[in-house]
């Protein structure tokens, strides 16, 4: 589906020589479907793993190789044209060889010449054997290149590698790469949250009355996940406190899983003092069963009426602890009139900002990949966010809070 935020954006993807090159096919195909213009450069070793024809087909444009570089078929030097054309450059997989060249400003092929001939942000997704990745020379090059704020590095994952080694060095998965691309196209590479601690709650809580039955809600935590991704991509240190979820935590995010409102309260209060920005995006239960059975109750023993009691009001407690430098952001999922109850919550809870979103609109709210909202603050500012991806909405929220 076309994404209005990315239509006419231009992304140049450089493919290095590694088995992870096959993952780039999904990245290229998916980004093209969002409306992004794609160009691809393959190094000579990358062509041992994947063909230019494959990537040309997926990107709907010829894929460039070193042979293209040396053929005088362009009115201007190819690396200059490509470098000026790109809004963003992605190198995936980034090999130890290409990393070393970038770290020392070397340019001996089309890809490295294009990097030096461009000024756009560069996203690096390394992939290599664990022993290679952990070599002191490779780590030195990695840290050296990231000193240049033009370069944005993705963490490697740990797991079973193609060489049968279990350890670090796996390239980030395509959905993570695509999310980072979306972020960089929005921020243009600006990392305005470097040095900031961002604390986020996400997902629904569950209040059990026996071992298998609980009071809950349909929240999936996708909005909190998007906030964590956006904060990470903008340079923040991120702690994500989430209820039961079926998504993967982004590499580089400290995630703490909880179940009940009481557990979430304890963790949020523990991390709150060091946080600069706090997003209470979790859909916390309002009540819990008064009694709990440590065994599953047979159907005949279920109570005809379930006595309830309130759960802790987490965000109200955090507001009481808030220091002047901290920003506390709440959420209000509403039906019908979404503004009046949001303003009431903003004032009664003493929040800095509240995000109110309709959950009775199609493709919005709980479980959706998209959202829409109105953002309000205590100074009377009001910004309406039209339907968009939750990641883009997260960036709009950070723009507002900033």
Compute the distance between CA of residue 59 and CA of residue 63 in angstroms, rounded to an integer.
Answer: 8
Judge whether 314 is annotated as a binding position: yes
Reference 43, options 120, 119, 102; nearest CA is 102
Residues with Cβ within 8 Å of 172's Cβ and at least 6 positions away in sequence, in order, are 92, 125, 154, 155, 156, 157, 180, 251
Is there a binding annotation on residue 382? no
Known binder of ligand: residue 349?
yes
Residue 10 CB coordination number (10 Å):
17
Nearest to 87 by CA among 7, 193, 179, 33: 7
* Alpha-helical regions (H) of 122-173: 130-133, 136-147
Residues acting as catalytic residues: 163
Tell whether residue 387 is among the known ligand binding residues: no
Q: Would the CA dihedral through 65, 69, 74, 75 be positive or negative?
A: positive
The three-point CA angle 38-78-45 to 5° equals 70
- Asked if residue 256 belongs to a known ligand binding site, the reply is no
Residue 354 assigned to a binding site: no
Q: Is 286 among the annotated ligand-binding positions?
A: yes
214 is in an annotated binding site: no
Partners of 239 in the beta sheet? 199, 254
To the question of whether residue 272 is assigned a binding role by annotation, the answer is no
Which segments are annotated as binding site for CTP?
286, 296, 312-315, 331, 345, 349
């Amino acid at each position: 589906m076309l994404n209005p935020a990315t239509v006419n954006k231009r992304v140049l993807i450089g493919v290095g020589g590694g088995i992870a090159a096959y993952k780039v096919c999904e990245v290229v195909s998916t980004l093209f479907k969002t409306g992004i213009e794609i160009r691809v450069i393959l190094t000579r070793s990358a062509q041992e793993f994947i063909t230019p024809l494959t990537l040309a087909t997926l990107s709907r444009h010829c894929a460039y190789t070193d042979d293209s570089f040396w053929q005088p078929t362009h009115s201007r030097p190819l690396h200059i044209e490509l470098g000026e054309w790109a809004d963003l450059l992605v190198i995936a997989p980034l090999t130890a060889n290409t990393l070393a060249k970038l770290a020392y400003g070397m340019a001996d092929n089309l890809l490295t010449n294009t990097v030096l001939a461009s000024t756009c942000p560069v996203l690096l997704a390394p992939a290599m054997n664990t022993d290679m990745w952990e070599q002191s020379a490779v780590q030195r090059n990695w840290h050296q290149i990231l000193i240049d704020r033009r370069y944005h590095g993705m963490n490697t994952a740990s797991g079973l590698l193609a060489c049968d080694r279990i350890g670090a060095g796996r390239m980030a998965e395509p959905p993570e790469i695509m999310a980072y691309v979306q972020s960089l196209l929005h921020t243009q590479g600006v990392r305005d949250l470097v040095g900031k601690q961002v604390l986020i709650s996400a997902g629904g809580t569950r209040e059990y009355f026996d071992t298998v039955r609980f009071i809950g809600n349909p929240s999936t935590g996708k909005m909190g996940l998007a906030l964590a991704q956006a904060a990470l991509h903008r340079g923040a240190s991120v702690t994500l406190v989430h209820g039961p979820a079926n998504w993967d935590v982004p590499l580089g995010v400290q995630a703490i899983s909880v179940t009940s409102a009481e557990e979430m309260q304890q963790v949020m209060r523990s991390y709150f003092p060091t946080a600069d920005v706090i997003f209470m995006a979790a859909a916390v239960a309002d009540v819990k069963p008064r009694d709990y059975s440590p065994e599953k109750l047979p159907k005949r023993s279920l109570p005809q009426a379930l006595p309830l009691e309130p759960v802790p009001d987490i965000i109200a407690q955090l507001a009481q602890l808030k220091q002047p430098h901290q920003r506390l952001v709440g959420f209000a999922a509403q039906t019908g009139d979404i503004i009046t109850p949001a303003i009431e919550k903003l004032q009664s809870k003493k929040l800095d900002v509240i995000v109110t979103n309709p959950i009775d609109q199609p493709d919005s709210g709980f479980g959706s990949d998209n959202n829409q909202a109105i953002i309000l603050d205590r100074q009377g500012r009001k910004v309406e966010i039209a339907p968009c991806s939750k990641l883009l909405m997260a960036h709009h929220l950070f723009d507002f809070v900033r």
